[in-house]
């Protein structure tokens, strides 16, 4: 089974789980908030943080941008989208800050211009969001970077996933099982897809979760997910479409703790009597 190398880390079934804290747009347009979230991810041992990058005028039509939508940024959908979008100045500071802390960062690019933008910072990887899995031009552009690629599979049929995998190849690819509802209901998480994807594709399989809580993400690792991505927030009651499906700092702490302990929990599968059991055995075993 192939492994994917990101800088000095490997993603594969015999490697430590690669944990991605997705900041996305939960910074609400504030670089200060973004830095606080980066700090939290670093504090609790995440391997990387992830953002989203869009060229607004390319991703949305003029009609979509002019649609009425009240927000702190204005009265139209375009005001909202532009207000949430970081530019070169912000990402230059993010790049510097992550390097100082020693945590990797990358982003989901929604268009080819955004891939070009991210390449200016020599990001460690690229992410293809579920919404863009059928964007052939985007897939081909990201493929040309020769960087590790994460791809989410929410809202996607197996035929669509197969098409994307055929374009991207499996040498440098991590496929995320994902359900694109925020938050995801328990009966739609469908973790049994993870072992199915493991059997079907010769590349690492991960999990991008949008559920409430941490149990499904932990189970995903037990089922074979070798990378986990979760949205993070300072407070789930903050304004924003992704906040309710995000982990607050304490939730992220518990998730990273539990994931890092799974290898010890699972053991080697050989039934044995441990040295620590011998005094108990001597005391309690009567026959």
What distance lies between CA 155 and its chain's CA centroid? 16
* pLDDT, position 58: 92
Domains annotated for the chain, with CATH where assigned, are 4-284 (3.20.20.70)
Number of other residues whose CB lies within 10 A of the CB of residue 278: 10
* 13-42 confidence digits (pLDDT tens): 999 999 999 999 999 999 999 999 999 999
Read out DSSP for 37-92? HHHHHHHTT-SEEEEEE--HHHHS-HHHHHSEEEETTEEEHHHHHHHH---HHHHH
* pLDDT, position 287: 86
* pLDDT, position 240: 87
* pLDDT, position 264: 94
* pLDDT, position 253: 98
Note the pTM of the prediction, 2 decimals: 0.95
* pLDDT, position 239: 87
Per residue of the chain (287 residues), give pLDDT as tens: 789 999 999 999 999 999 999 999 999 999 999 999 999 999 999 999 999 999 999 999 999 999 999 998 999 999 999 999 999 999 999 999 999 999 999 999 999 999 999 999 999 999 999 999 999 999 999 999 999 999 999 999 999 999 999 999 999 999 999 999 999 999 999 999 999 999 999 999 999 999 999 999 999 999 999 999 999 999 999 988 899 999 999 999 999 999 999 999 999 999 999 999 999 999 999 88
- Cα separation, 199 vs 189, in Å, equals 19
* pLDDT, position 36: 98
Element housing 113 (H / E): helix 112-119
Alpha-carbon Rg for the chain, nearest whole angstrom, is 20
* 86-115 confidence digits (pLDDT tens): 999 999 999 999 999 999 999 999 999 999
């Amino acid at each position: 089974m192939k492994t994917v190398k990101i800088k000095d880390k490997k993603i594969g079934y015999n490697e430590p789980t690669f944990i991605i804290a997705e900041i996305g747009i939960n910074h609400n347009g504030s670089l200060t908030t973004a830095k606080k979230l980066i700090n939290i991810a670093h504090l609790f041992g995440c391997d990387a943080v992830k953002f989203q990058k869009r060229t607004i005028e390319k991703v949305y039509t003029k009609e979509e941008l002019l649609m009425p939508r009240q927000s702190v940024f204005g009265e139209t959908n375009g005001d909202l989208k532009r207000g949430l979008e970081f530019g070169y100045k912000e990402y230059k500071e993010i790049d510097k800050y992550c390097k100082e802390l020693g945590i990797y960062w990358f982003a989901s690019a929604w268009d080819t211009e955004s891939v070009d933008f991210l390449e200016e910072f020599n990001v460690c990887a690229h992410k293809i969001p579920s919404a863009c899995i059928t964007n052939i031009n985007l897939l081909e552009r990201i493929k040309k970077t020769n960087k590790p690629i994460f791809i989410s599979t929410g809202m996607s049929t197996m035929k669509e996933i197969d098409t994307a995998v055929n374009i991207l190849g499996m040498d440098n690819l991590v496929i995320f099982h994902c359900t694109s509802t925020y938050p995801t209901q328990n009966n739609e998480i469908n973790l049994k897809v993870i072992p199915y994807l493991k059997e079907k594709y010769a590349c690492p399989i991960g999990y991008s979760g949008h559920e409430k809580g941490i149990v499904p993400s932990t189970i995903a690792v037990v089922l074979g997910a070798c990378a986990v991505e979760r949205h993070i927030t300072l407070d789930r009651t903050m304004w924003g479409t992704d906040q309710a499906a995000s982990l607050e700092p304490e939730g992220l702490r518990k998730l990273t703790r539990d994931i890092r302990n799974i290898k010890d929990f699972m053991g080697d599968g050989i039934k044995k009597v441990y040295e620590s059991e011998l005094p108990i055995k001597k005391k309690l075993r009567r026959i």
